[in-house]
Chain A
Amino acid sequence: MRADALDRLIHERLRLGIVSALAVNDSLSFSDLKKLMKTTDGNLSVHARKLEEAEYITCTKSFEGRMPKTEYRLTTAGRRALERYLDHMEALIRATRER
């Protein structure tokens, strides 16, 4: 497998974390993700936006009472990207063992 086939977008730790967490949840709120990733509002927003632009995740904004709520979901493209990334990592490990 070529090194440039690696999906740089989800290779970054925080983005990889967001995609991994969403892969096992129907949806996660902004605050859930923030707690899970132990990061700041700004950092999470920036990385979530990048994933959103790549259409790996979707973002829904709503109100829960008077409180705004941001909910993230993984798209099919995002799930496929994670699967490809996992395959890539496993291929790297396999290739080293076979050497």
Chain B
Amino acid sequence: MSRAAEAEPAEPREHYLNAQYGVRSWLLTQDHKRIAILYLIGVTVFFAIGGVFAALIRMELLTPPGDLFQSETYNRLFTTHGVMMIFFFMIPAIPSVLGNFLIPLMIGAKDLAFPRINLLSWYLYIAGGLLALWAVIHGGVDTGWTFYTPYSTVYSNGYVVVTAVGIFIAGFSSILTGLNFLVTIHTMRAPGMTWMRLPLFVWAHYATAIIQLLGTPVIAITVLLVGAERVFHLGIFDPRQGGDPVLFQHLFWFYSHPAVYIMILPAMGVISELVTGMARKPIFGYKFIAGSSIAIAVLSFLVWGHHMFVSGQSVYAGLVFSILSFLVAIPSAIKVFNWTATLYKGSVSYQTPMLYALGFIGLFTIGGLTGLFLASVGLDIHVHDTYFIIAHFHYIMVGGTIMGYLGGLHYWWPKISGKLYPEAWARVSAWVIFLGFNLTFFPQFILGYLGMPRRYHAYPPEFQVLNVMSTAGASILGIGYMIPLVYFFWSMRYGKPAPANPWGATGLEWQTPSPPPTENFPVTPVVTREAYDYQTKEEPALG
């Protein structure tokens, strides 16, 4: 951040943060940037709640016998951890915070297409979250975040309906966010901002929006049917009346597998920005990265059956789903190869966002490759419902999505807050998170392969060493997450003022002051260059 010195203490300029004051001006705002801040507060709170439950799980698993919690309580702990993290943190995190803030800025628009709907979707998100929290406080749910029938419809004595309604409402929030992004990207691009000049972050969110629009309604109707079955005793998933529990699994995973890509695609978009910005080089294979986002969105709807290899699905369906699941690896690998090719011969700066980007690439690769193990029917039957699965999807979701989210938050924090964060502390925390993460989840691959099943509060003594390692890693990871929380708050008050473009990056969001004015740009920008055009900026092309 050598350019920080350039920032003169200018006279107070009006920007989106100081344009209005007071609680009302925030809770009734229609400014996409302020709504992004509201979301930032929301997802941070739910992340903290989910994190506390993760800590309780890891404490129980420190010792082999189930000595800290009863098995019933433990069921409620991991369910709450999953519900909070997936529906109220992972799915909204990057789109609703970074996407909300950046998409209009990146395409040169004054706001999202539907600002009031944007605010509505925040309120829906909070309402859904509060309902789910109400259920937790009153005793929680014990079904696992997957709500498999008939346990969830007939036998569970937890607050299934309240939680389901919370998820239903949060789902609407997700649909409305996706709809807003889709329409905004289609209709609000600045003059000259053609589709092939869109930042890859925007392409990733476009693909995400497609999944949100096509997938979320299916989970909505599914949880509604589960609720109806519990309350009115309908029999759609009840075998006693001829219903089929496997139909529930089909409907559930038709959304919930694509939902994994709602969580990872935006993070991939962030990484595309970080890699070019920090390597100061045009992205390698722009069209392939953009196209791979769309390909992932399409393929994501064709692979749900790989969650059901042992659920009584036909062998032939299993084979087809296995092959289709392998296909998803192609667009994912295209991204990884193109990111690394972008770094090749770039002038790479190893500042905090780059540390997160490299962390993402490494951890996502491990998570993705173990995903291929799981897509192979034979191997999946061996490790199904073991800690191998837990380790795999935490490598994707924590190692992928949260790394991308934190990297993006650091990269755009100067733009969001107008202040620079302390670089040294940020690097320390990035390393702590990376090391803590691996110590937490790598032993779980081994545990799973050796046969430790998921969702049990007790385990045989021979698994203790690896579990102690995992719990120790989780403690380190927890500390790693708290450091940024402290210094981001600190920087809002004491940080150095940020210049408009602290990274010397391309992209419209860096051409407006930090923090941006309420209308984003003093005059609507006209785009004349390709995305990530670092060459013409620095020197004439070498030919």
Do A and B associate with each other? no
Enumerate chain B interface residues (CB-CB to A < 8 A): none
